[in-house]
Structure 1
Amino acid sequence: MGHQLSFKPGEVVSIDGVRLTSPARTWLDLAPMLDLNDLVAAGDSIVVSHGDDFPVPRKPLATVADLRHMVGHHPGMRGVKTARLALDLLRVGADSAPESLMRLALVQAGLPEPTLNIVLRNGLGHPVVWPDAAYPEYRIALQYDGVHHSDPDQYRRDIKRQGLTEGLGWREIRVQKSDLEGDRPFVVEKVRAVLSGSSARTAWERTGS
């Protein structure tokens, strides 16, 4: 069964002669079909951007403000309640849905929210490592290793990345797909254990004990 939709000005764009809904409108149209976490992941993929100090700088397809504006203009649409909840959970900097789901799992478990778009620099100030997420206060980097990370060349790059991270005085937590699965994702325990140790060490360093 088809559905008839109405569009406001600017919600349909033309790319190479093909008429498409704008990224912001497409995201809102997904709201009745996705659960909250998946809608956040979809939104993160639209608003993601990286600066010139990243290997591949990126500009967003739309901003969080654009998505908020879209939701505000369609108060009666199906799924708009989920979209409103998702707006407050969107963050700029996640390159993939698993990275978004990793962040959400940690936050929903009551752990501190990791920061995105962090750049680790060497002694000369040159960018050398780009964690998927990080806790800068504790010098902890989170890296999601997807299926392609089993490739031998990628594996060697991952080992080099970990060595660079640790050489800068940071600890790297590597997260796999299985760590995000289930009602109690194991990534929560992974991160909680490292944060607990880092918190105790940081308190010790501050007091000089």
Structure 2
Amino acid sequence: MPRKDPLPEPLRRSPFALAQALDLGVGTDRLRGDDLARPFRGVRVARGGPLSLVQHCHAYARRMRDIEFFSHLTAAELWGVPLPTEWRDGADIHVSTVGQRRAAKARGVIGHQISDELLVVATRYGLPLSDPSTTWCHLASSLSDDDLVAAGDHLVLTPARQVPRDPRPYCTVQELAERVAAFRGRGSVRARRVVAQVRDGAESRRETLVRLRLLAAGLPEPEIGINVFDASGTWIARVDMIYPAWKVIVEYDGDQHRTSTRQYERDIRRLDDLHEAGNRVVRIRNSTLALAPTLVRHALRAAGAPV
């Protein structure tokens, strides 16, 4: 088999348009090589395993009109929203236009034509996408109530530690509520009903699902993302959920607690400190998610709560 000519340096690590390659002197026969994937018509990328969503969107961006932007589930994943099903290489992406501009049409693209004067096109990873609060409104037509709340919790979260160059929250609870009140698209009725359950403080989708199960069972709403101190005022931990009046803490244990020895040891010390400070800690895992209301109710009753 003849050896293929190497691609020019600008084309080796990122998706590129055929026109760009031709301008750099790459021949049409080389552009038909089986070492190049064709995610979209007129776009090539050097094969090197499955593309991430960001890479896939950058591939589409090589042929994107300046009136288009990523939206709906695609924008949600670009904002890092935890969804029940993650995007996989080869799945469709959502692309929108606003007003009378024709919706996107391409293989692998779900096009939307949106009428919304309040929509703002933001930029993330160098890609145009719908702003956080509008993206959440669009999710109201496709997600369950609980997953919609989890998506909102993610967008409004003020994390314990900020990530450089990625300031959060992406939108505040108030900004989200105001955007929902003005939204008139598909899912607007559900969005207005569900937005009242969105809270700042949940660090993961599972934490939100635990909180919603507790509320659905008639238990009082816990405070979330709270720092706990001992009697001397020394900080112990930031906990997922707490009923401060009864010193009952609810924690969701993810996989990192099982797969990391260092994390496991830190958790044991943390639990010991919380217990020594007089707290009851209810630990919920994925396998015990359905039992969360029962476990928390027992702990609250043991602490003297009228539940």
TM-score by length of 1: 0.85
Shift of 1:197: 1.3
* 1:197 is the counterpart of 2:305: no
Distance change (3 Å), C-alpha of 1:125 and 1:59: farther
Shift in alpha-carbon separation, 1:96–1:28, aligned structure 2, 3 A: same
Higher helix share: 1
Letter of the 1:141 partner, please give it: I
Q: Which runs of 5+ in 2 are unaligned?
A: 1-109
Quick one: distance in 2 between partners of 1:69 and 1:149? Answer: 38
Higher deviation after alignment, 12-21 or 99-108: 12-21
Aligned to 1:133: 241
Instruction: Please say if 1:14 is aligned against 2:119.
Output: no
Q: Which amino acid aligns with 1:138?
A: W
Identify the residue that residue 194 of structure 2 maps to in structure 1.
86
**Counterpart-to-counterpart distance in 1, 2:281 and 2:124:** 41
Deviation (angstroms), 1:37 = 0.7
Partner of 1:165: 274
The correspondence for 2:203, drawn from 64, 87, 95, is 95
Any conservation in 2 of the 1:36–1:85 contact (CA below 8 Å)? no
- 1:24 aligns with 133
1:150 aligns with 2:150: no
Within a 5 Å distance, the mapping from 1:116-127 to structure 2 comes to 116-127=224-235
Question: Of the two structures, which has the highest relative contact order with CA contacts closer than 8 Å and spacing of 6 or more?
Answer: 1
State the one-letter code of the partner of 2:236. Answer: V
Q: Is 1:104 the equivalent of 2:212?
A: yes
Is the CA contact 2:153–2:202 (under 8 Å) kept in the aligned structure 1?
A: yes
Q: Displacement, 1:167?
A: 1.2
Equivalent residue for 2:112?
3
* Distance in 1, Cα, partners of 2:192 & 2:181: 9
Change (3 A) 1:9 1:90: closer
Pairing partner for 1:177 from 286, 296, 303: 286
Take 1:73 and 1:112, find their aligned partners in 2: how far apart are those partners? 30
Tell me, in whole angstroms, the C-alpha distance in 2 between the residues paired with 1:188 and 1:18: 42
User: What per-residue deviation string (whole Å, max 9, x for no partner) do you get for residues 69-119 of structure 1?
Assistant: 2212222x1111111111111111000010001000000100111111321
Is the contact between residue 138 and residue 195 of structure 1 (CA under 8 Å) also seen in structure 2? yes
Rounded Cα–Cα distance in structure 1 between residues aligned with 2:191 and 2:125: 29
Max Rg structure:
2
Q: Which has the higher strand share?
A: 2
SS at match of 2:303: helix
Q: Structure 2 length normalisation: TM-score?
A: 0.59
8 Å Cα contact 1:39-1:86 kept in structure 2? yes
Q: Is 2:119–2:134's contact at 8 Å kept on the other side of the alignment?
A: no
Superposition deviation, residue 66 in structure 1? 1.3
Query: In structure 2, what is the Cα distance between the partners aligned to 1:138 and 1:147?
Result: 28
Q: Give ranges in structure 1 of 5+ residues lacking alignment.
A: 203-209
Counterparts in 2 of 1:51-66, with a 5 A limit? 54=160, 56-57=161-162, 59-66=168-175
Deviations 1:11-45 (A, max 9, x none): 21123542111111111111101011110000000
Query: CA RMSD for the aligned pairs?
Result: 1.9
Large movers: runs of 4+ above 4 Å: none
User: 1:59, CA displacement in angstroms?
Assistant: 3.1
Q: Give the residue type in structure 2 aligned to 1:86.
A: V
Corresponding residue SS for 1:93: coil
Aligned length: 192
Equivalent AA in structure 2 for residue 199 of structure 1: G
Matched residues in 1 for 2:125 and 2:275: separation?
46
Say which is worse superposed, 91-100 or 122-131, in terms of deviation: 122-131
Instruction: Give aligned-pair identity as a percent.
Output: 36
